[in-house]
Amino acid sequence: MTLRIVAAAEGRRLNRQWRGKDKPTNVLSFPAGEPLTPGDEAGSLGDIVICAPVIRREAGEQGKAPRAHWAHMVVHGVLHLLGYDHESERDAVIMEALERELLANRGFPDPYQPKDAVRR
Assigned fold of 2-35+42-119: Collagenase (Catalytic Domain) (3.40.390)
What is the crossing angle of helices 8-19 and 52-62, to 10°? 100
Name 73's Cβ contacts closer than 8 Å, sequence gap at least 6: 26, 27, 50, 55
- 119 pLDDT higher than 60: no
On the question of pLDDT at 118 being above 50, the answer is no
pTM of the full predicted structure? 0.86
pLDDT at 35: 63
What are the pLDDT digits (tens) for 7-37? 999 999 999 999 999 999 999 999 987 666 6
pLDDT in tens, 34-57: 666 656 666 788 999 999 999 999
